[in-house]
Structure 1
């Protein structure tokens, strides 16, 4: 099972990103495959926040356009949403402490804990995740980006 980070999603829909040409086909292939793909609501909200923001995104989507993209993802048979379980808080607190995750890294620790508790591999280009020892992490764009 793969848990996809927001940066992959944003690169796939940002035609001005140097990683767009790697991210778009990777995401399309991944979402049309048989392997279980998961996202967190936090990741989806980050995609919406950034891709609809005129000061951040070069050619922002309307809320309707961005929501339609998310609806397309959620409609894929392989796709699902990961939710925290009762194990989440104990895992998260260890990651926060051992990974010295403060400030914006707290959200990374949250996503890492979600992946760990569900046995998922996190797909991200963000090297900050390497601070979390128990996390299975892959950068699917490394070979092509």
Structure 2
């Protein structure tokens, strides 16, 4: 299984983004079951928050449209929910002193560990490279493996 990070989903819906095509191909690979992509609820919430925010998305989606996007993603992505043990993993094994919003990336890694997921697909490689227990790949790298 490969966790698909929020930024890949955002690029996939933003047709003017330079990374749109590669992100769209990856999402289509998940739809076609050639890419074993999964999501956590956190990823879907982050996606909704970004695509509805005028400061972060040049042409923000209206909430009903964003909800439809989330539902569409849920229709073909397995969405894995983790229990509270991920907090124990987060504060016991995963964090390396992250502060501020860095804790959310560390929490994704804790959820990955709890779910047995070894790879994250993201363009924010610098955010995750410090976590030695996971493999970090861009959409282009994932598609080259398929």
> In which range does the TM-score fall when normalised by the shorter chain?
0.7 to 0.9
The match for 1:118 is: 115
What number of residue pairs does the alignment pair up? 140
How far apart, in 2, do the equivalents of 1:142 and 1:28 lie?
A: 15
Shift of the 17–89 alpha-carbon distance from structure 1 to 2, 3 Å rule, reads same
The match for 2:29 is: 29
Deviations 1:52-106 (A, max 9, x none): 1122211111111111111112112xx222222354223211211xx33211110
Unaligned residue ranges in structure 2 (runs of 5+): none
The match for 1:72 is: 72
The match for 1:88 is: 86
How far apart, in 1, do the equivalents of 2:87 and 2:5 lie?
A: 20
Runs of 4+ in 1 over 6 A off after TM superposition: none
Shift of the 6–30 alpha-carbon distance from structure 1 to 2, 3 Å rule, reads same
TM norm structure 1: 0.85
The match for 1:6 is: 6
How far apart, in 2, do the equivalents of 1:110 and 1:58 lie?
A: 28
Structure 1 or 2: larger helix share? 2
Correspondence for 1:109 among 106, 124, 130:
106
Unaligned residue ranges in structure 1 (runs of 5+): none
The match for 1:40 is: 40
- TM-superposed CA distance for 1:31, in Å, is 2.5
How far apart, in 1, do the equivalents of 2:52 and 2:79 lie?
A: 22
How far apart, in 2, do the equivalents of 1:90 and 1:143 lie?
A: 30
TM norm structure 2: 0.85
